[in-house]
Amino acid sequence: MATALITGATAGIGRAFADLLARQGFDLVLVARNEARLKLVAKELHDKHSVAVEVFRADLSRYDECAWVEQRLADTARPIEVLINNAGFAVRQRFAKGDLLAEQTMFDVLVRAVMRLSHAAAQGMVARGSGVIINVSSVAGWRHTSTYAASKAYVTSFSIALGRELRNRGVKVTALCPGFTHTEFHQRAGMDMKRLPEFMWLDADALVAQGWRDAQRNKRISVPGRQYQALRYLLKFWY
């Protein structure tokens, strides 16, 4: 049975990917920082879908712990067919007067880890002639408003470039670019989203299903939701 590795897998978009792939029969490697929550999610998925679930507690902002996940991705005896780079968070501050360590930590998770894990996974996928990499980016990548947006711009551009590089090697690479989504993300970032109209919110399960379909079609960019598909083109002219 094929195996998928998902970072940030215990909640939100990552958990939705875990549910979707488990339903399709994939064995799972779930990566997150909270080991207790990882084990709880793993048990739920195993009991419900009868798939093997491996838990991997790692903080991807740490070089050594990110390296542990890279080693798992590079293990030819236990190949990873699908990589979902989903782990992430936002820093709510002005850059010039903000906490530089917080910015560095965010950069390490959103950019460095995505690059390194994609590299580790791509080598084995190319050797086997098959594989899927989905890098969870954001429509924020088309808005030049913050270091978070800059990081997501990198993820989108990187994914497009990697997809072109591997298009004839049997490996599919997609940047999944959602907008506002009902998850824990904004609460953790301390953002008050009460004024955002309901029509701007996406459902995590629905956007993940769209992203997975687009990845199977080898689309470079997946933008779930008509409102955000329209916004994507408007932002190209605005900025």
C-alpha 153/C-alpha 140 separation (Å) is 8
* Distance from C-alpha of 27 to C-alpha of 8, rounded to nearest angstrom: 16
Q: Respond yes or no: is residue 63 known to be catalytic.
A: no
Tokens, residue 221:
């960019």
Distance of CA 49 to the CA centre of its chain: 22
233 is catalytic: no
Among residues 43, 63, 148, 228, which one is catalytic? 148
Q: Are the CB atoms for 20 and 45 separated by under 8 Å?
A: no
Please report, as a single letter, which amino acid is at residue 108.
D
Give the 3-state secondary structure of residue 215: helix
Half-sphere exposure of residue 26, counting CA atoms within 13 Å on the CB side? 22
Q: Which amino acid is at 173?
A: V
Q: Which residues pair with 171 in a beta bridge?
A: 131
Task: Please tell me which residue in 152, 154, 172, 228 is annotated as part of the active site.
Answer: 152
Catalytic residue numbers, as ranges:
148, 152
